[in-house]
Amino acid sequence: MKQRPMDYEQARFNMVEQQIRPWEVLDQDVLDLLFAVRREDFVPAAHRSLAFADLELPLPGGEHMWAPKLEARVLQSLKLLRQESVLEIGTGSGYFTALLASRAAEVTTVEIDQVLAASAATKLARHGFANVRGEIGDGAQGWGVELYDAIVLTGSTPLLPETFLSQLKPGGRVFAIVGDPPAMTARLVAWTTPGSRVTTDLFETVVAPLKNAAAPSRFRF
């Protein structure tokens, strides 16, 4: 019997209605974006049929894509504006980069794995994202000296380096998943006034750490 081709649009609709809305993602602009940016085009070919499943998908080099509901929830929490600049640490597949670039003026995305970086760059260019600047390197504890309106770490970090907070523009915010398994917290730190920040813990989750992520000093006896 010939297998019926996958109905990607129905699968996308089901993802939004069954996974993402129930996870408190109700921003219509975010929901519309999930229909506009084709997630399946950024998923490795071997896993394309699972592009809308509620799970992390493996990438080359032992990395993983975030689950769709996490991508949507983080995007909603950032509340990006069209004129803003974003720093993303961990390009991965390039899909979340595409979501960021669809909302912001420019995105600088940093990936330590050259194979992933090249693959993501190709996909982003194919989809016409000219406002993305890809960099190859280790951004786990900061990147460059530029200031940004939003900074996103796509891997977890036991400690959030002060470097990222110092790279925020007035009104800027950092999203990071902070802690060690099995207890990690998705955290948004917002710049309010000079020397003042507001930290909001959004939800608990577990995500693999960035390579070379900052870690607390361990006492040795």
Q: Tell me what pLDDT residue 217 has.
A: 67
Among residues 100, 169, 172, the alpha carbon closest in space to that of 133 is found at 100
H-type alpha helices, the chain: 8-15, 28-36, 68-78, 95-103, 114-126, 162-166
Predicted local distance difference test score (pLDDT) of residue 215: 83
Instruction: Give the whole-number percent of the chain exceeding pLDDT 90.
Output: 90
CB 20, CB 31: distance < 8 Å: yes
For range 60-88, the mean pLDDT:
97
Q: How far is CA 210 from CA 40, 48, 123, 152, in A?
A: 24, 25, 22, 12
Q: Provide the token pair at 91.
A: 């390009």
122 φ/ψ sector (left φ>0, alpha ψ -120 to 50, else beta): alpha
Average pLDDT of the chain, as a whole number: 94
What's at 221, amino acid-wise? F
pLDDT band at 219 (very low <50, low <70, confident <90, very high): very low
Superfamily of domain 8-205: Vaccinia Virus protein VP39 (3.40.50.150)
Domain ranges of the chain: 8-205
The angle, 0 to 180 degrees and rounded to 10, between the axes of the packed helices 95-103 and 114-126 is 50
Does 2 have pLDDT greater than 60?
no
Q: What is the mean pLDDT of residues 115-125?
A: 98
pLDDT band at 183 (very low <50, low <70, confident <90, very high): confident
> What whole-number distance in Å separates Cα of residue 153 and Cα of residue 163?
13
Residue 130 in this model has a pLDDT that exceeds 60: yes
What is the model's pLDDT at position 192?
87
**Does this model's pTM top 0.85?**
yes
Beta bridge partners of 204: 185
CA distances from 23 to 20, 178, 190 (A): 5, 20, 22
Report the chain's terminal Cα–Cα distance, integer Å.
66
pLDDT of residue 83: 98
